[in-house]
Structure 1
Amino acid sequence: MSSLPRSTPDDQGLSTAAIDAFVAAMDASAQEFQTVMLLRHGHVVLEAEWTPYRLTDRHLLYSVSKSFTSTAIGLAVDAGLLSIDDKAVSFFGPEDLPETVSDNLAAMTVRHLLTMSTGHDEDTVQRMTRDDRMVRTFLGLEVEHEPGAPFVYNSGATYLLSAILQRVSGETLLDYLQSRLFEPLGITEATWGSSQEGITFGGWGLSLSTESMAKFGQLVLQRGLWEGRQLVPAEWFEAATTKQVSNDREVNPDWHQGYGFQFWRGRNNTYRADGAFGQFILAIPDHDAVLIITSASTDMQATLNLVWDHLLPALEGKEVPAVPRPSRLELLPPSGPAPQGGDGRIYPFEQNPATLRSVRWDADGTALFTFDDAVEFVHTPNGWHDAGAQVVTAAHGDGDVFVGTIRWVDTPHAAEFRCRISDGQLTVDGELNVSFSPLKFTITSRA
């Protein structure tokens, strides 16, 4: 089966009006939603996209990736390649291990990696990514507490799971899942970034379409059973989505309901894979439902609150206020007068948070932006412009300022660049919609 079966909400025991009201609430929210899909009894009963985003495009999932890594470990355990009680250091040789292996590092197991209870004080990933040898860096970090200590979210631990999987299987994590998970599910578009040492990131970097996310969510809800075939042991998903460790120190209510094997527990007896800026695979087993959201959210708890306030009542069969679904869902391009003409010069920049290499603002009011990856985008006025490479752009003028907007539609990310020329230099005031770095920045071209 290449695609999931479609149905109407009413045929699956839901009110179409209530589902429309949920979409209307999403559209009216302060959060920026990009795509949504709802499965009920294994059928797609809601699929919506906010232009210029499309359900069929692959989307960068950030930490949703972790739940796929967990699944690969479950498959490897079932194949007899490892046990979750194996010591983490047992998979690595002297070239990766520190000269002295501390007692805490020696005690760390695959289980501790899966449950984010490695004994580290903080996430290790920022320190790891400063070095090309990420495995060696992780193993060389101080483990401040005995493993099994309180939950500390740790993307570096998931990277080490990927490295272990590669050691025991002889395949990268992505390749390992291709024949065992992605192909049986009919997922053909998966991409997954890897490190300079050739290891799939594991904790981040996976890109899938909205429907492929939904297939995985339905597989987990069905405890690994797909079209009569047990792709993943039911026992693995049962354990992975059950509370394995306490995470009471987390602040938001849907983030301190317990943590499994790279899955979060949530309120209302739910579990989920989630990723930065609002990427969700949310399973609602009490109502045989799976909800998929891709978004650019600055408040992921607010997104889940919206689900509990507007979708959960519909799943429970409660009457909800009738709010018509918008006839068109769209993230509108910024609008304004056509930009003034520029001087046609190329203005180069030093290294900067936006990875902007240069800007050329031409006399016809268009501008060419070049980034560190050598991708070039031409900004033209009048709505969204398809710039290729999964990018859309828009432009308008604000007096003597050229305002260019870029949306990387295979990610949550967008940016606005306000450009002005003065005294032979071009200054850019930039603002990002979501980022791990500051959202606003100012850069000036080299003299």
Structure 2
Amino acid sequence: PCSRRVGSVTTTFPRSTPSALGIDARGVSAFLDALESTPDVEPHSIVLLRHGQLAAQGWWAPYAPERVHLLYSLSKSFTAAGVGIAVREGLVDLDATVLSYFPELDADVTDDRSRRIRVRHLLAMASGHREETLDRARAADPHDLVRGFLLTPPDEEPGTVFAYNQPCTYTLAAIVRRVTGGSLVDWLRPRLLDPLGIDDLAWKRDETGAELGFSGCHAPTSAVAALGQLYLQRGVWDGQRILDEDWVDAATSAQVANPDEANPDWSQGYGFQFWMARHGFRGDGAYGQFCVVLPEQDVVLALTGQSLDMQAVLDAAWAHLLPAIAPVDDAAADDAARDTTADDGLEARLAALGLPPVAGSAPTDDAAGSCDATGVVDGVRLAADADGWRVTLDVDGGILSAPVGVGEWRVEGPLAASAAVDADGAVQLDVRFVETPHLLHVRLDVAAGTATSVWATQPLHDGPLTLRRPAD
């Protein structure tokens, strides 16, 4: 694939149409129908690639292609790529002990199993712990998460059991920083991001200035698709090898069994910061951030969203999208998928995607006012200005302000807002943090002097003032 800049967005893939790539556009439309109608599923973006070309893409307004989106645990797959590049350059040995990269901790870490954890065990979430260690590791050392993790003894021999474990990935990022002498993003920029045409990626850092590694990466949907395409192409991009082929093989195959996971697409085994699935493999993050790679179909599907039911998203892909993809070597089926009328309809639909604004009647002058609030924010003020309405939120000792759309979303910076008056005369106000999955519901009743605020989905490591792209 080639990279080219279009306006402020780097487009990494040559454009095509679904039918030209052996995809029935009606199946893509059915997939969109499912995403938009399934309870606890809210899509924000989709990028669909086949044969390294763009079959379909769309963003549900107020989300937009040039914006980054918080990826939550899909960040792990970017961290792992940094490790893979360091392995290729001879800086990291998968079979070296983790402790060997932190010799200053040698005297502190006395548990034999902790001392036997290897880099490959971190990658496979197979450190020997039976469950998440983040809270215990932080308690063991509030200032050094790597030390706290290594001071938390594994329950079993490393490599023998799976447990989704944030400090494993944090430690991987710390190893990359240790062997390269810089930040994880600094390491990735010339070696991964620039070659793949990813011109905007930022990472939340902890109080020590270190990238979280396991979460906190903000990137556009096109970056997610590009990472998937790199793995689909077995580590080669534009003729340049970025990841070794044996790394790709290991990362995208089961390194440890995880049959006890509840959902079917989470119990097929785990690779190197990738989940194996009923079809292909994927990276994913909380609330519906997905990088799905289907090698048999030569397809990459990148999605962002605010979805509590992530299994439903994959169920919809398997039910509607997968059957619409003609086999790679089946020319007859490929020809049968060539429905240009459906292509045109899908393209028009993708161009007009949007999340519904708040429904109800338009606010009138008596809706303006301010109140103390309960819930997420401390106070709400709604006022008319020359351009319409504006909301101001007092929260966490700071101020958030955004224009408010009526019957639409209005966007300013990292916020989008929409409002309407409900049957009781109160203003229902939705504020979206459009560089993240999250939505805040606010209800303001000036006549009663009350206001409430509640998250649609709970942010995992940020408050309202930091739900945005981190500063570089």
Map of 1:223 onto structure 2: 234
Q: Does 1:410 align with 2:435?
A: yes
Partner of 2:98: 88
Q: 1:10 to 1:345 in 2, by over 3 A?
A: closer
1:440 alignment partner in structure 2: none
Cα distance in 1 for partners of 2:378, 2:183 equals 33
Q: Supply the RMSD in Å over aligned alpha carbons.
A: 2.7
Residue in 2 aligned with 1:113? 122
Amino acid of the structure 2 residue aligned with 1:288: D
Shift of the 155–100 alpha-carbon distance from structure 1 to 2, 3 Å rule, reads closer
SS of structure 2 residue aligned to 1:290: strand
Once residues 333 and 129 of structure 1 are traced to their aligned partners in structure 2, the CA distance between those partners, rounded to angstroms, is 41
Aligned residues: 430
In structure 2, the CA distance between the partners of 1:254 and 1:345, relative to structure 1 (3 Å rule), is closer
User: Contact 2:439/2:456 (CA < 8 Å) preserved in 1?
Assistant: yes
In the alignment, which residue of structure 1 is the partner of 2:330?
none
Q: Which amino acid aligns with 1:308?
A: W
Deviation at 1:207, TM superposition (A): 1.2
Equivalents in 2 of 1:400, 1:13: separation in Å? Answer: 52
1:26-425 equivalences in 2 (<5 Å): 26-30=35-39, 31-94=41-104, 96=105, 99-128=108-137, 131-268=142-279, 270-316=280-326, 325=346, 327=349, 328-339=352-363, 341=366, 344=369, 347=372, 354=376, 356-362=377-383, 367-372=391-396, 374-378=398-402, 380-398=404-422, 399-420=424-445
Q: CA deviation at 1:169?
A: 1.1
**How far off its partner does 1:435 sit?**
4.8
Residue by residue over 1:39-68, the C-alpha shift from the partner in whole angstroms, topping out at 9 and shown as x without a partner, is: 111100111221211122111111111111
- What percent identity do the matched residue pairs reach? 36
The answer for unaligned runs of 5 or more in structure 2 is 5-11, 328-332, 462-472
Q: How far apart in 2 are the matches of 1:373 and 1:54?
A: 30
**Which stretch shows the higher mean deviation, 241-250 or 48-57?**
48-57
8 A contact 1:132–1:195 mirrored in 2: no
User: Aligned partner of 1:34: which letter?
Assistant: H
Alpha-carbon separation, structure 2, partners of 1:348 and 1:308? 44
- CA 1:97–1:333 in structure 2 vs 1: closer, same or farther (change >3 Å)? farther
Cα 1:20–1:432 change in 2 (3 A) is: closer
- Seen in structure 2, the aligned counterparts of structure 1 residues 378 and 290 have a Cα distance that, compared at 3 Å, is closer
Tell me if structure 1 keeps the 8 A contact 2:48–2:300: yes
Deviation of 1:124 (Å): 2.0
SS at match of 2:185: helix
Amino acid of the structure 2 residue aligned with 1:286: E
**1:275 offset after TM fit, Å?**
0.7
Deviation digits for residues 412-446 of structure 1 (CA, Å, limit 9, x no counterpart) = 111211234688x6441424145559xxxxxxxxx
Give, in whole Å, the separation in 2 of the partners of 1:49 and 1:216: 19
Q: How far does the alpha carbon of each residue in 1:387-406 deviate from its partner, in whole angstroms, 9 at most, with x for none? A: 42221001222335332111
How far 1:88 moved relative to its partner? Answer: 1.1
Are 1:384 and 1:392, in contact at CA under 8 Å, matched by a contact in 2?
no
Equivalent residue for 1:15, pick from 11, 14, 24: 24
State whether residues 403 and 412 of structure 2, in contact with CA within 8 Å, keep that contact through their aligned partners in structure 1. Answer: no
Cα separation, 2, equivalents of 1:315 and 1:254? 20
The letter of the residue matching 1:125 is L
For 1:9 and 1:362, locate their aligned partners in 2 and report how far apart those are by CA, in whole Å: 46
Checking the alignment, whether the CA contact within 8 Å between 1:407 and 1:413 is kept in structure 2 is: yes
Distance 1:55 1:363 in 2: 30
- Larger deviation: 312-321 or 3-12? 312-321
> What TM-score, normalized by structure 2, do the two folds share?
0.84
